[in-house]
Amino acid sequence: MRVAGIKKTVGIRVRKLREANNWSQEQLGFKCGLHRNYVGGVERGERNVGIENLAKLAKALGVRPSELVP
Amino acid sequence: MRVAGIKKTVGIRVRKLREANNWSQEQLGFKCGLHRNYVGGVERGERNVGIENLAKLAKALGVRPSELVP
């Protein structure tokens, strides 16, 4: 796995799971205590997400953190 | 997975893999471009590791990032 690509991969997976639940970025953000703008940045692959926020996103999306990373 | 435990889990896995290679924290740090003190903090579960550093650690340890998180 290229180091450079991990932010894009995480973003794609978060977006896919969020859309599968028919949630807005704001709804997902509310569920995990993160701002909708932050969720948007994650999905666009712009954020170097910390593992604590990765765990929060995973929990809200009903998956394990390992399913959000390559 | 408890959100609170992810830092500890990552630390335990990094340490286990580093020790399996008989590398010092300094050696692992050198391989992934991170300071030995940072590697020590990761292993003690003190660092909220960003996914880019997670990818660097995984690459140096010869595993996928998903193998370092729960």
- pLDDT (tens digit per residue) in B13-48: 999 999 999 999 999 999 999 999 999 999 999 999
Largest CA distance in chain B: 31
Mean pLDDT of A40-61: 98
Dump pLDDT digits (tens) for A14-30.
Answer: 999 999 999 999 999 99
Q: Is the CATH number 3.40.50.10800 carried by domain B3-65?
A: no
Between CA B35 and CA B40 the distance in angstroms is 9
Task: Please tell me the distance from the alpha carbon of residue B9 to that of residue B5, in angstroms, as a whole number.
Answer: 6
For residue A50, the model assigns a pLDDT of 98
Architecture of domain A3-62: Orthogonal Bundle (1.10)
Chain B, 43 to 62: residues with Cβ < 8 Å from chain A are 48-52, 54-56, 58-59
Q: Which of A2, A3, A46 to mutate to test the interface with B (most CBs of B within 10 A)?
A: A3
Domain ranges of chain A: 3-62
The ipTM estimated for the assembled molecules is 0.93
Give the model's pLDDT for residue B4.
64
Contacts of B69 in chain A (CB under 8 A): 51, 54, 64-66, 69
